[in-house]
Amino acid sequence: MRQIDGYEAPHCLLTRVAANALAGVARDLAPQGLVIKVFDCYRPTRAVANFVRWARDFKDQKMKAEFYPDVDKRTLFRDGYIAAQSGHSRGSTMDLTLAQADGRELDMGTAFDFFSPKSWPADPTVGAEAHKNRMLLAAAMHRHGFRAYDKEWWHFTLRGEPFPNTYFNFPVK
């Protein structure tokens, strides 16, 4: 693992309206004994630039086996796994999963940040349990105003986000 530009502390920053909507999701899931585990929230544009540099360095294949074993790194932009601008930089996009109250993550069929068609929310090859869990997460998020990204089961953006055309660059402290 390496430090990513712009992340100085492990905090999840969101716009107030996105945070309130996410709290509603958490309240809905609590009676089922489930919690939300957040992987990433607001992402400074300098962090996005860091990921872009990594994606364009085709010689750097250190993470291939773990995150993109079946995908050619040269296609990450074309296939929508990496973008030159990220909705995360607007403060109303997050990456998350569901977990038991004790922190054990539910089976989602793939790991977070796994670049593959197997990570698409509707992928039919992940198995019944993983598919059910993906649909549970997506339905809870949708009920509270979030839309899913069609290539990542973990990625959601608040519909009607307050800063749709602004990409922030302040560090996460």
Residues that are catalytic? 152
Whether the CB-CB separation of 14 and 163 falls below 8 Å is answered with: no
Tokens coding 41 = 């929230």
- Give the three-class secondary structure for 13: coil
The CA-atom distances, in angstroms, between 118 and each of 29, 59, 79, 166 are 25, 25, 13, 31
* Cβ atoms < 10 Å from Cβ of 136: 15
Distances 73 to 9, 47, 55, 68, 79 between C-alpha atoms, Å: 29, 19, 7, 8, 10
- Exposed e or buried b for every residue in 83-97, given b needs 16+ CB within 10 A? eeebbbbbbbbbbbb
| Cα–Cα dist 76/116, whole Å | 10
